[in-house]
Amino acid sequence: MTIFDAILQGIIQGLTEFLPVSSSGHLSLVQHFTGQGGEVGGSFSIMLHFGTLVAVMIAFWPTIRDLILEAFRMIGDLFRGKLRFKTDNPRRRMIWMLLLALVPLFAVLPLKDFYSSLAEDDSIIAEGICFLLTSVLLLLSDRVVKGKKGPRTMKARDAVAVGVAQAIAPLPGVSRSGSTICTGLVMGLGREFAVAFSFILGIPAVLGANILEFKDVLEGTAQTAPLPVLLVGMAVSLVVGLLAIWMVRVLVNNDRFRYFGYYTLVLGIATLGIGIFEQARGVTIFQMIHG
């Protein structure tokens, strides 16, 4: 894997991690059509998430800072026996909602290898189906009435619904940001709050995935790209990710998600068609060109 590959995939990661079109699906397609699939490609894809993780921290730092400070206050209340689930404190309620939304992730932890296998195999049929699922979610959310729920009025069922959307998002072709933001909008969350809740909710998930990947790298059970290539890829994904976050905020506030619904619909149909063609021929497009 070269520096050019790192820049290309860093741009794709930075854009598609936040734009509702699925970063894992796009990276899977790039790796499939360039012959870089498999364990090295999958490992590099996860490492690129570090750049976008930092982008989220920068873009939402005021809110994240307040949540961190409130979390320490909650710990203090726990030791004093004053911690309660019911509260009017918006930051504390948001922490409770975030914790509830993380619960579904634990239910799908046993599926980690299954998710990875779909992105790293030689077929893109699963990616095509998942792109179509993303399209349905985007087009559906664009038709709902604008909600007004925020930290004070969000319900537990809203948090669980967003959490379930995040739990299926590791499927290649399902957009994590798209599925969680759209689910939040369907549940009646306000536009700005749905975006903030989605991106902040993604921090523990992305961080956990990277910790697991580092564990495999340290144990020598996973391969990765050379360090300079990784650093370039992460830096590019950070810068492009900040731009993409700004774009998402503008698009959500102006009800423009349907355009991405049309895009993922066309992409899903094309990907599914190519995948079926490759299966029928028993050879990939890359192998046809370089065979």
User: What's the distance, Cα to Cα, between the start and end of the chain in Å?
Assistant: 20
Look at residues 182, 196, 209 and name the one whose alpha carbon lies nearest to residue 97. Answer: 196
Q: 3-state DSSP: the chain helix, strand, coil percent, rounded to 5?
A: 75, 0, 20
Q: Is 227 exposed, middle or buried (0-12, 13-18, 19+ CB in 10 A)?
A: exposed
Angle value at C-alpha 266, between 260 and 271, nearest 5 degrees: 120
- Region 9-35: what's the mean pLDDT? 81
State residue 79 phi and psi, 5-degree precision.
Answer: -70, -25
Task: Tell me the C-alpha distance between 194 and 190, whole Å.
Answer: 6
Task: Report, in angstroms and rounded to the nearest whole number, the Rg of the chain calculated over CA atoms.
Answer: 19
Query: What is the pLDDT averaged over residues 42-50?
Result: 69
pTM: 0.84
pLDDT digits (tens, 9 = 90+) for 3-12: 887 888 888 8
pLDDT digits (tens, 9 = 90+) for 173-188: 898 899 999 999 999 9
Owner of token pair 């990276």:
27
Are 183 and 162 spatial neighbours (Cβ–Cβ below 8 Å)? yes
User: What amino acid is encoded at 1 in this protein?
Assistant: M
Six-digit token string for 240: 């492009």
188: left (phi over 0), alpha (psi -120 to 50) or beta: left
Q: Which amino acid does the sequence have at 162?
A: V
